[in-house]
Chain A
Amino acid sequence: GENVEQHPSTLSVQEGDSAVIKCTYSDSASNYFPWYKQELGKRPQLIIDIRSNVGEKKDQRIAVTLNKTAKHFSLHITETQPEDSAVYFCAASISSTGNQFYFGTGTSLTVIP
């Protein structure tokens, strides 16, 4: 089955700096890649997603890039703010078969004021 690796496991940045989280996947059939943010004690919430027919997607300070050839995708957060502090999970799935989301191990991001 699919294997998703996520790096780094922890990340600290100064407020206003950028943060980058990287994920790799093993199954070339994967074609849907969501990112989730989970604040302490809260549910994971979808923040952005990308499909394999797109190389980059942006939503305000958040962007995701996808390199299908290398089988990796990255989350970029610019102008970080303290409220960006959370655990971020990447995931991969094969949308045509529907079900299984394969989650990365998570990155704990701390934004230092």
Chain B
Amino acid sequence: SAVISQKPSRDICQRGTSLTIQCQVDSQVTMMFWYRQQPGQSLTLIATANQGSEATYESGFVIDKFPISRPNLTFSTLTVSNMSPEDSSIYLCSVRTGAGQPQHFGDGTRLSIL
């Protein structure tokens, strides 16, 4: 399966600031996704990162808060904007090599906002 590198692995940020998380894959993949996982909770899809076009956001998530870029088939970024303590969570990217294939996850970014 694809090797997924996500960074930073963790960060502690001040309220009101923004953080950009990077996801790099070692091969071209059709689909890339961004998830949020609160402690002890399941995985919540934030958006699908579309190559060359705007991301597709799930209900409850908006582009102004979570802007996403995907300039090519191996790289995507998620920015968490104007952070508040409620944004403290683990953010994970995942990839699929094609329809009907499983998703594979990066190691995640553990984000704490003071």
- Chain B at the A interface: SS class: loop
Chain B residues in 8 Å Cβ range of A44: 43, 92, 105
Question: Are B100's CB and A95's CB within 8 A?
Answer: yes
Q: How far is the CA of A89 from the CA of B94 in the complex (A)?
A: 15
Q: Given A96-B99, A98-B99, A99-B48, A104–B42 Cβ distance below 8 Å?
A: yes
Q: How far is the CA of A46 from the CA of B30 in the complex (A)?
A: 18
Interface residues of B in 1-44 (CB under 8 A from A): 1, 30-31, 33, 41-43
Question: Are B107's CB and A43's CB within 8 A?
Answer: yes
Question: Are B42's CB and A105's CB within 8 A?
Answer: yes
Q: Which of A89, A95, A100 contacts B42 (CB 8 A)?
A: A89
Chain A residues in 8 Å Cβ range of B100: 32, 51, 95-96
Chain B residues in 8 Å Cβ range of A98: 30-31, 96, 99
Name A's B-contacting residues (CB within 8 A).
32, 34, 42-46, 49, 51, 89, 95-101, 103-106
